[in-house]
Amino acid sequence: MYKKWVVACILVIVIGAAVVAYLLWPHPPAKTEILIGAAVSQTGSLAPMGNKVVAGYKLWEEYINQKGGLLGMKVRIILYDDRSDATTTKSLYERLITVDQVDFVLGPYGSSCSLAMAAVAEKYKVVTIHPLSTAGELFNQGYDYQFLAKLGGISGIGIVSMEEDYLYFKFFDTLKDLKTIGVINTADYYPRSRATAFKSLAGYFGYKIVFEDEIPKEATDVTAVITKIKGVNPDLFVVIGYLSIETLLIRTAHELGYHPKLIFGATCNVPEAWDILGEKSQGVITSLDFLTSFTFNESQKFVQLYQAKYGKLPAGHFEALAFATCQLLEAAISATRSLDQESVKQWLINNAVETCVGRWKVSKVALDAGFKYVPEYFRVIPQWQNGIMKIVYPPEFADSKVIYPIP
């Protein structure tokens, strides 16, 4: 009996000491907020589109906190400006993960910046969702933590990446007497690789490339190259660069009297294209992930939220893609009730999410081809008509007939 009493006393003393030690020993405070990091171009050459991505991220941050946050915690997005410089992007994501100790990261804007930061996120095994990227290399390196919100215009993903260009050529096949194509791209990663994919498919579909050229991305006078293409006079004029160059090429073509049957501008999918070109944008086709006229899925909710916060309609698809990126992370965290990277990653791989730019799900076709992790494809072809982008293809989403040939 005495021994039992002694043992009991010892147990009480040990347990009491452990409790006191726990109470006195320093330990981290309970987590009160979820930190998400991003470095996006807010100054420099990529700023016009980068700031649209920032607007989408900030809109979601406000929206999710008005709903009560995630897992009962406030969400805070830490945003840095990478100044449109890939080296700066890389160092900022290193800082976000190691110094700011964010729970997840969102992608930057621009292929070179995306490529630069991906290796950092992979090193620390942090799930990253990119709003957009044209860098196929981002998804064929075997990376385990890189996800893409929307597939479109991605170079280097074979049949999957070319689905966007397949869409164009299916559309071209509905037009009469469009047989020859001229392509001008700028000497940079995205324009060059995108032009290569486009030209390879042209031959497959039976179109003839009768002119091709590449110009410096800093070009300010394109009179010489437009004079050359005018002499050949292809039916379809394809310009692939960034907005300033594409609009320069289109404007110069008008001024020099080159009037093709149709013009395609890869990045002429923002209101600034009309602001720069005015009537000269009439009939230009492009491609788009989102229009405010979309009524499916979460699109109209996004439009309403954007208009309430910013007092205007979203200018293009960049804001919507950024918001959709956050919706994917929101869905995964909510479903798993976790901030664990592996749990969130596996959930994203295996589940579908309804976003403001459509239904998102990792493409099994791409996975089988060795590409991680790109979603199934959806895009539409709009055409500038009287200052408004109207959907002209595919037929199930069209809200206008195509103007062809263009004035």
The 10s digit of each residue's pLDDT in 80-136 is: 999 999 999 999 999 999 999 999 999 999 888 999 999 999 999 999 999 977 666
284 in Cβ contact with 239 (< 8 Å): no
Cα 113 from Cα 40, distance rounded (Å): 9
Task: Please give the pLDDT value at position 313.
Answer: 84
Task: Please give the pLDDT value at position 161.
Answer: 46
| The two three-digit tokens of residue 281, written as one number | 């944008």
Is the link from the previous residue into 394 a cis peptide, with omega within 30 of 0? yes
Ordered by where they begin, the domains of the chain are 33-152+295-368 (3.40.50.2300), 161-288+381-397 (3.40.50.2300)
Please name which of 147, 145, 118, 143 lies closest in space to residue 130, comparing C-alpha atoms. Answer: 147
Task: Please give the pLDDT value at position 299.
Answer: 85
Question: Mean pLDDT per 10-residue run, the chain (407 residues)?
Answer: 56 55 54 95 90 96 97 97 95 98 94 91 96 74 88 50 71 93 89 82 90 93 98 97 92 97 92 92 87 72 93 85 96 97 97 89 79 78 93 88 94
Task: From residue 37, give the alpha-carbon distance in Å to each of 28, 98, 317.
Answer: 21, 11, 21
Cα 308 from Cα 8, distance rounded (Å): 66
Instruction: With 0.85 as the threshold, say if the pTM is over it.
Output: no
Task: Please give the pLDDT value at position 86.
Answer: 93
Q: Hunting for tokens 């195509």 — which residue is that?
A: 402
Task: Please give the pLDDT value at position 6.
Answer: 53
Task: Please give the pLDDT value at position 157.
Answer: 45
Strands 104-106 and 33-40: parallel
Task: Please give the pLDDT value at position 160.
Answer: 45
DSSP state letter for 377: P
What three-state secondary structure class fits 222? coil
Q: 270-308 burial string, b = 16+ CB within 10 Å, else e?
A: bebbbebbeebbbbbbbbbbbbbebeebbbeebbebbee
Task: Please give the pLDDT value at position 79.
Answer: 97
DSSP state letter for 315: -
pLDDT tens for 73-93 read: 999 999 999 999 999 999 999
